[in-house]
């Protein structure tokens, strides 16, 4: 029993280490080093420098946008100011500048012929029109109008404040108090005031067409921040995009328009209204962002992954060594030492019975000096 325990102890208290075979071959050596170089440059160049795997990223940006438009224009020879052409008036991140209006004055409830040739009501009039019941006279949206060409000179001021919740970092897009600047991607790319004409020019929009049919334009505010650098380098970048480009070829829903009415009461108590069909350029301020900062955990994980992957080189070299090159069988013999049971048994039966007092003689006999 005690001897069993002793045997267990001696077999447990051991250390195993791998036996290595050093292959002195140029071709395999070159392949080995090349594969290692490839893996190291992948990790250093792509994973660490390009993907910045040593940082954690926060993409859940919190943002608030306030806009303010300035300028005067004329639609159908009526002067329009901000209160007339901006919808909705609250100065949100999404707003429309009305550039063309078809007005239908003095509409009252009643029955009247439909101007549109589409048949929507009872067709009992001899002239070929159908009669509708509703607000009369009906709207004639083929009417000639003059659009507000001056809107290219309007300015849009954007105030944007953001926060990266993971790092508790807040930033704003206004530096200093220079409110005379105009955004220009080359000369003044941090200015938060945009001339509409500049945006349309950047997007190569047909201004006439846009003014008469309406459209949708996106102003992108992108915050890419590396918080390992100075906080002052965390600034927004602006760009513009046509939001209705997927529908440009579409005949049905080109442009952008909406209707609204103003209601009045006559002295005799009947209601009447002025209907407006407004064609507008809809602006949408879109804020996106990513902040990155050094973090120990992803760094350690990625360094470990890199070190482990360098060992992958041996898999490829083994494949070449044991299958593809001259003398592969010999290399295989060296790498995989075969041990059979017969060999073990031979090793276990003592060849010489040497007692401890005749040990020197035994050694001599084994080495063949005497027989």
Any binding-site annotation on 7? no
CB of 168 to ligand NAG, least distance (A): 4
Helix or strand holding residue 318 (H, E)? helix 312-323
Q: Is 116 in the site for ligand NAG (CB under 6 A)?
A: no
Q: Is 308 in the site for ligand NAG (CB under 6 A)?
A: no
Q: Is 141 in the site for ligand NAG (CB under 6 A)?
A: no
Q: Cβ(61)–Cβ(288) under 8 Å?
A: yes
Residue placing its CB nearer to ligand NAG in the complex, 117 or 340: 117
Q: Is 152 in the site for ligand NAG (CB under 6 A)?
A: yes
Place of tokens 């404040």: 161
CB of 30 to ligand NAG, least distance (A): 54
Q: Is 166 in the site for ligand NAG (CB under 6 A)?
A: no
Q: Is 201 in the site for ligand NAG (CB under 6 A)?
A: no
How far apart CA 264 and CA 279 sit, in angstroms, is: 23
CB of 212 to ligand NAG, least distance (A): 11
Residue 147 CA, distance from chain mean position: 38
Any binding-site annotation on 69? yes
Q: What is the token pair recorded at 46?
A: 């792509």
Place of tokens 């220009």: 184
Q: How far is CA 330 from CA 27, 28, 239, 326, in A?
A: 16, 15, 66, 9
User: Strands, E, within 35-145: which ranges?
Assistant: 55-58, 62-70, 73-75, 78-80, 86-87, 94-113, 131-136
Residue 366 CA, distance from chain mean position: 77
Q: Cβ(154)–Cβ(71) under 8 Å?
A: yes
The residue from 90, 168, 187, 349 that contacts ligand NAG (CB under 6 A) is 168
Any binding-site annotation on 258? yes
Stretch that binds ligand NAG, among 123-131, 147-155, 275-283, 310-318 (CB under 6 A): 147-155
The residue from 106, 153, 189, 363 that contacts ligand NAG (CB under 6 A) is 153
Residue placing its CB nearer to ligand NAG in the complex, 31 or 225: 225
Q: Could you list the residues known to form a binding site for ATP, using ranges.
A: 68-70, 155, 257-259, 277
Q: Could you list the residues known to form a binding site, using ranges.
A: 68-70, 155, 257-259, 277
Residues near ligand NAG (CB under 6 A) are 144, 149-150, 152-153, 168
């Amino acid at each position: 029993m005690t001897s069993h325990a002793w045997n267990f102890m001696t077999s447990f208290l051991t250390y195993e280490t791998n036996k290595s075979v050093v292959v002195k071959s140029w071709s395999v050596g070159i392949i080995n080093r090349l594969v290692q170089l490839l893996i190291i440059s992948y990790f250093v160049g792509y994973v660490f420098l390009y993907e910045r795997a040593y940082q954690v990223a926060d993409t859940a940006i919190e943002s608030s946008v306030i806009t303010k438009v300035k300028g005067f224009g004329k639609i159908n020879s009526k002067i329009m100011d901000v209160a007339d052409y901006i919808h909705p008036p609250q100065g949100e991140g999404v707003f429309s500048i009305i550039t063309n209006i078809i007005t239908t004055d003095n509409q009252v409830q009643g029955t009247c012929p439909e101007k549109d040739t589409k048949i929507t009501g009872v067709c009992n009039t001899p002239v070929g029109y159908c009669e509708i019941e509703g607000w009369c006279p009906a709207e004639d949206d083929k009417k000639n109008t003059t659009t507000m060409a001056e809107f290219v000179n309007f300015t849009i001021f954007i105030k944007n404040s953001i926060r990266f919740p993971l790092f508790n970092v807040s930033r704003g897009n206004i530096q200093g108090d220079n409110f005379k600047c105009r955004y220009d991607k080359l000369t003044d790319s941090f200015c938060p005031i945009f001339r509409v004409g500049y945006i349309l020019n950047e997007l190569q929009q047909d201004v006439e067409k846009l003014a008469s049919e309406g459209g949708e334009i996106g102003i992108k505010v992108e915050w890419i921040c590396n918080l390992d650098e100075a906080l002052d380098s965390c600034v927004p970048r602006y760009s513009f995009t046509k939001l209705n480009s997927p529908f440009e070829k579409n005949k049905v829903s080109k442009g952008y328009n909406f209707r609204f009415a103003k209601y009045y009461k006559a002295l005799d108590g009947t209601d009447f209204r002025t209907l407006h069909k407004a064609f507008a350029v809809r602006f949408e301020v879109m804020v996106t962002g990513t902040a990155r900062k050094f973090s120990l955990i992803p760094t350690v994980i990625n360094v470990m992954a890199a070190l482990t992957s360098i060992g992958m080189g041996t898999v490829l070299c083994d494949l070449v060594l044991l299958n593809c090159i001259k003398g592969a069988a010999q290399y295989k013999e060296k790498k995989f030492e075969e041990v059979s049971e017969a060999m073990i048994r031979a090793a276990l039966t003592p060849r010489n019975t040497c007692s401890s007092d005749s040990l020197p003689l035994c050694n001599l006999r084994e080495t063949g000096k005497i027989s």
